[in-house]
Amino acid sequence: MTKRTRAELYLLLITLIWGSTFVVTKFVLRDAGPFLYTSIRFLVASLIFAIVFFPKLRTIKKSSVFNGGILGILLFIGFATQTVGLLYTTASKSAFITGMMVVFTPLCQLLIERRSPKAGNLLGVAIVMAGLYFLTSPGGSHFNVGDGLTLICALSFAFYIVLLDIYSQDCEASHLTFVQFVVTAALAAIGCLFFEDFHIVVNAEFTVGVLYLAIFATVIALYVQARFQKDTTPTRSAVVFSVEPVIAAIVAYFVLGEHLGDLGVLGGSLIVAGVLVSEFSDVLFRTRGTDI
């Protein structure tokens, strides 16, 4: 097994976890506001991570603090817009729109690393946009503020993936991960103070949900991403993450009874198809270029 294959298998495993988080978050948001929930989630994650990785964190460098801070800002924007968006849209739609980060990733590489997207990347963007239209069309389920916020989330996560690929080459994964957690928790706490009324209902459902999201979907998942993404490419990482909305839609169907409808299914299928076209552009279009 090659290093890249192993890395992509680990990324696939955490993608399966992330696919379940949309439904779990829906339940958690019944008992707390989105900013308060996000702050608690990442505060718990920070404490757990600090205990587990304390010896490594004692040697944290200034570069890791700076780079992790930037990643933390992007992570906060992504989670905040996604979580607030879930108040207004369904778990299935949120997952598929978040999956658009895959086609945004090559465009972010163009802006940050000056790597030009291939013809297949651009075609993938066009197919995904068509899918978004059908997924949120009036005949299916109209485009709402939650969908718009989730689009911002997808763009933020795309920038996050590209910068994580750059920063993880020179920084210790545990250092980057811990700083991200702390920054996200702090920014979410500030958001709670300014943008929502404080309310929380601590019950078994809320506690189990937050612990699941903090331990599995945050501590384990984001550390694995920081540890192994550098062994593949940003775009290949993003295409692995494209499985997430499919998992989310399946879980939402069985747990929440959500139905995308015929146009929704068509839109979701086009989004996944566009993602795959973008990823395999080097095979579909025999052009020379940088592997992205």
Spatial separation of the C-alpha atoms in residues 95 and 92, rounded to whole Å:
5
Checking phi first, is residue 118 left (phi over 0); if not, alpha (psi -120 to 50) or beta?
beta
Identify the top-confidence range among 124-128, 197-201, 238-242, 280-284: 197-201
Spatial separation of the C-alpha atoms in residues 234 and 105, rounded to whole Å:
7
Residue 287 has pLDDT above 60, yes or no: no
Residue 289 has pLDDT above 70, yes or no: no
> Could you state, in order of their start, the residue ranges of all structural domains in the chain?
3-99+141-232+244-260
- Residues 6 or more apart whose Cβ sits within 8 Å of residue 187: 72, 73, 76, 80
Q: What is the pLDDT of residue 235?
A: 65
What b/e string do you get for 265-284 counting C-beta neighbours within 10 Å, with b at 16 or more? bbbbbbbbbbbbbbbebbeb
Residue 116 has pLDDT above 60, yes or no: yes
Q: What is the pLDDT of residue 137?
A: 63
Residue 183 has pLDDT above 90, yes or no: yes
Residue 141 has pLDDT above 70, yes or no: no
pLDDT tens readout for residues 205-250:
999 999 999 999 999 998 998 889 888 877 677 777 777 888 888 8
pLDDT tens readout for residues 5-54:
898 899 989 989 998 999 999 999 999 999 999 999 999 999 999 999 89
pTM above 0.85, yes or no: no
Q: What is the pLDDT of residue 143?
A: 81
For residues 134 and 23, the model is more confident at 23
Q: What is the pLDDT of residue 283?
A: 61
Spatial separation of the C-alpha atoms in residues 211 and 288, rounded to whole Å:
47
Residue 64 has pLDDT above 90, yes or no: yes
Spatial separation of the C-alpha atoms in residues 281 and 120, rounded to whole Å:
4
The average pLDDT across 80-86 equals 95
Closest CA to 18 of 179, 252, 243: 243
For residues 120 and 108, the model is more confident at 108
Residue tagged 């139905």 (tokens):
259
Q: Are 248 and 24 in contact (CB under 8 A)?
A: no
Amino acid type, 236? R
Q: What is the pLDDT of residue 256?
A: 85
Spatial separation of the C-alpha atoms in residues 268 and 276, rounded to whole Å:
13
Spatial separation of the C-alpha atoms in residues 71 and 169, rounded to whole Å:
14
In SS3 terms, the chain reads as CCHHHHHHHHHHHHHHHHHHHHHHHHHHCCCECHHHHHHHHHHHHHHHHHHHCHHHHCCCCHHHHHHHHHHHHHHHHHHHHHHHHCCCCCHHHHHHHHCCHHHHHHHHHHHHHCCCCCHHHHHHHHHHHHHHHHHCCCCCCCCCHHHHHHHHHHHHHHHHHHHHHHHCCCCCHHHHHHHHHHHHHHHHHHHHHHHCCCCECCCHHHHHHHHHHHHHHHHHHHHHHHHHHHHCCHHHHHHHHCCHHHHHHHHHHHHCCCCCHHHHHHHHHHHHHHHHHHHCHHHHCCCCCCCC
For residues 35 and 4, the model is more confident at 35
pLDDT band at 203 (very low <50, low <70, confident <90, very high): very high
Between vectors from CA 223 to CA 177 and to CA 195, what angle results, nearest 5°?
55
Instruction: Say what percent of the chain tops pLDDT 90.
Output: 45
- For the chain, give the mean pLDDT: 86
Residue 73 has pLDDT above 90, yes or no: yes
Structure tokens that stand for 199 in this block:
């309310």
Amino acid type, 250? I
Task: Find the range with the poorest average confidence among 14-18, 107-111, 114-118, 145-149.
Answer: 114-118
